[in-house]
């Protein structure tokens, strides 16, 4: 059984994505690439891929906020500095918007089927507000 938590950093898709971009030479460029891949996808997006993109978007939001209550994200941000440029903030906002559209991706449907959609959406609220 893999990791599955309501927070944006507590599931396998998110953790795998963070591992993939850990210590990348150009963190900002890699973050942008992950989000663009999801945003450029015309088809339905599977849960792990969307989870990874949401985690990346929330990292950008957390950098804007200046603090992160999640220990995983806090350690990642400390080890991987980047500037939350206007482009990154725009991509992050669009990524979270895509993740929260019904019938567009498996992640939304999994939370809906589990009866935890409102809770999941609430965990994204501080990041959305930071990116607005």
Residue 92 inside a domain? The answer is yes
Express each pLDDT in 47-59 by its tens digit.
Answer: 999 999 999 999 9
Express each pLDDT in 7-21 by its tens digit.
Answer: 898 888 998 999 899
Residue 5 inside a domain? The answer is no
Express each pLDDT in 92-115 by its tens digit.
Answer: 999 999 999 998 899 999 999 999
Confidence class for position 1, pLDDT limits 50, 70, 90: very low
The whole model's pTM is what? 0.93
Express each pLDDT in 25-54 by its tens digit.
Answer: 899 999 999 999 999 999 999 999 999 999
**First-residue to last-residue Cα distance in the chain:** 36
* Residues 54 and 107 sit within 8 Å (Cβ to Cβ): yes
Confidence class for position 3, pLDDT limits 50, 70, 90: low
Q: What is the pLDDT of residue 55?
A: 96
Residue 6 inside a domain? The answer is no
Q: What is the pLDDT of residue 24?
A: 74
Residue 3 inside a domain? The answer is no
DSSP assignment letter at 26:
T
Structural domains counted in the chain: 1
Residue 61 inside a domain? The answer is yes
* Residues 45 and 87 sit within 8 Å (Cβ to Cβ): no
Range of the domain at 123: 12-131
């Amino acid at each position: 059984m893999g990791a599955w938590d309501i927070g944006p950093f507590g599931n396998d898709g998110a953790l795998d994505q963070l591992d993939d971009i850990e210590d990348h030479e150009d963190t900002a460029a890699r973050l942008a690439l992950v989000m663009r891949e999801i945003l450029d996808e015309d088809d339905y997006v599977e849960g792990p891929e969307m989870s990874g993109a949401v985690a990346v978007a929330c990292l950008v939001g957390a950098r804007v906020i200046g603090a992160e209550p999640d220990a995983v994200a806090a350690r990642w941000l400390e080890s991987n500095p980047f500037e939350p440029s206007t482009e990154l903030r725009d991509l992050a906002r669009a990524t979270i918007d895509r993740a929260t559209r019904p019938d567009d991706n498996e992640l939304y449907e999994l939370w809906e089927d589990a009866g935890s959609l409102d809770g999941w959406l609430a965990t994204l609220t501080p990041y959305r507000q930071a990116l607005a």
